[in-house]
Amino acid sequence: MNSEAVAPGMVPQSTARRAETRAIAVVSGAHLVSHLHYLVLPPLFPLLKQKFGVGYVELGLALTLFNVVSALTQTPMGYLVDRVGSRRVLIGGLCLGSAAYTSIGFFPNYLWMLVAAAVAGVANCVYHPADYAILNARVDEARIGRAFSIHTFAGYLGTAIAPAMMLLIASRAGVQMALIAAGLVGLLAVLPLIVARDLDTKPAQARGEAAAPVRVKIWSPAILSLTVFFTLLSLSAGGIQSYAAAALNAGYGIGLQAANVALTAFLLASAFGVLAGGFAADVTRRHGDLAAGCFAVTALLVLWIALFSPGAIVVAFLMAAAGFLSGMISPSRDMLVRRAAPPGAAGRVFGIVTTGFNIGGTVSPILFGWIMDRGDPRWVFGASALFMLGTVVIAMLGERQAGLPRMAARS
């Protein structure tokens, strides 16, 4: 039958696919901005330290406030998405985040930066509930995995371009203009959302699903261990993302621009590692072992940087390799959560375990800022490697606990 010749009331296949593509593109653009906004401040830490006359611990407090506020508001925001529509909430989050970072550029004051960071935390809590609500409502089940992969890739890409973008603008036009530019980027992602009014469809209504799943037991040792797993992931990634450039500059004699090139290599390689990890996750049932193996090698590469003094070129290569391998675990990481979730409770389980990101994001800035203020920049990489090894242990234990028969049944 021709794809356009359909029964009354049904959407032509080509039209549905175009709607899917638009939904993925619009939501992925917002996700890119969310990750870019998360890394607006860290690349500027050495410059903000001089401008505000504060230490790295004080600067790290801004990121801690961001994560605390985001963790506290993410669950209520999920209810708001269901009540008023995901598109409207996503537009509000993008505008609020843009206003927060732009305001720091206009009012370059340390105390105001803390206030703006808290506001940005409210904006950040919007993305996951709104993004996934739109994708679940608009993407066919047969292609939802690829949609999630593209969505994740876009976020990693935003993380990758943030350091180079912020440092480039700051070097040409100053720190304040860099902050203003970062805020204005968010408004670019708002424009297509304003036009795409059809994205307001609520997931349960759009797909004819039950209003609410039955109550099931979702707390288990596996889910608690995965929450710790996500926390350790956040701690290791947070140390590198927020302080690697400053640590390379302070402890290895590498210029700030070259140090940010190495950080960008790590982040950009992570984005492409996510895509490669999707293929790897499709051809294996041993997702825990895959995650453990990739992160074990990542830890060794980061530990190499901590123990030795490689030059700028070698550091960039090591950071890129570590980034690629750390990105590869993301699809397998999500498969581990999916496997641990009881039937009908995947959303709640993902919500629980991903709070580990916020826990790690709360502790990481203060911990690594304290390391930097103590004059031990090499320990930024050393501590990150230790956290990575912790994730390796948890992934391997989780694999053994679940067992291959159960994995096969849930794949």
Task: State yes or no: pLDDT of 303 exceeds 80.
Answer: yes
Residues in the chain: 411
Estimate to the nearest angstrom the gap between the alpha carbon of 324 and the chain centroid: 15
Distance between CA atoms of residues 132 and 126, nearest Å: 10
Distance CA 165, CA 25 (A): 22
HEC profile of 126-166:
CHHHHHHHHHHHHCCHHHHHHHHHHHHHHHHHHHHHHHHHH
What percent of the chain lies above the pLDDT cut of 70? 82
In sequence order, the 6+-apart residues with CB closer than 8 A to the CB of 163 are 39, 42, 43, 245, 260, 263, 264, 267
pLDDT at 405: 39
| CB-based contact 356:227 (threshold 8 Å) | yes
Alpha helices in 252-311 (DSSP H): 256-282, 287-307
> Which pLDDT does position 43 carry in this prediction?
87
Statement: residue 407 has pLDDT above 70: no
Mean pLDDT of 126-143: 73
Tens digit of each residue's pLDDT (9 = 90 or more) over 144-184: 667 777 888 898 888 878 888 998 999 999 999 999 999 99
| Structure-block tokens of residue 128 | 């996951």
Count CA atoms within 13 Å of residue 173 on its CB side.
Answer: 12
DSSP 360-405: HHHHHHHHHHHHHHTT-THHHHHHHHHHHHHHHHHHHHHHHHH-HH
pLDDT tier, 128 (very low <50, low <70, confident <90, very high otherwise) = confident
Q: Rounded distance, CA 244 to CA 316, Å?
A: 11
Write down the pLDDT at residue 297: 94
Question: How confident is the model at residue 96, as a pLDDT?
Answer: 95
- CA-CA distance, 28 to 18, in Å (whole number)? 15
Q: What is the pTM of this model?
A: 0.71
Task: Show me where the domains of the chain are located.
Answer: 15-202, 217-411
pLDDT digits (tens, 9 = 90+) for 340-397: 766 655 556 666 777 788 788 888 888 998 998 888 899 999 999 999 999 888 888 7
Query: If you search the block for the tokens 């053994």, which residue do you land on?
Result: 400
Taking each helix axis from N to C terminus, what angle separates 221-251 and 56-84, rounded to the nearest 10 degrees?
140
Domains 15-202 and 217-411 share a fold: yes
CA angle, 215 as apex, 210 and 221 as ends, to 5°? 125
pLDDT computed for residue 150 by the predictor: 83
Cα-only R_g, the chain: 21
Give long-range contacts, CB 8 A cutoff, 24+ apart: 13-21: 16/140, 19/138, 19/198, 20/138, 20/139, 20/140, 20/143, 20/147
pLDDT at 242 > cutoff 60? yes
Give tens-digit pLDDT for 63-118: 889 988 988 887 677 667 767 778 888 999 999 999 999 999 999 999 999 999 99
Task: Give rounded-to-5 percent helix, strand, coil for the chain.
Answer: 85, 0, 15
d(CA 387, CA 77): 30
Q: Tokens at residue 103, please?
A: 């305001």
What letter would DSSP give residue 174?
Answer: -
Angle subtended by helix axes 312-340 and 221-251, to nearest 10: 170
Q: Is pLDDT at 202 greater than 60 in this prediction? A: no
Residue 200: DSSP 8-state:
G
For the domain made up of 217-411, the CATH class stated in words is: mainly alpha
Contact by Cβ (8 Å): 226, 337: yes
State the angle between helix axes of 144-173 and 256-282 in degrees (0 to 180), rounded to the nearest 10.
180
- Which residue type is seen at 254? I
CATH topology of domain 15-202: Growth Hormone; Chain: A; (1.20.1250)
What totals of helices (H) and strands (E) does the chain contain, helices first?
17, 0
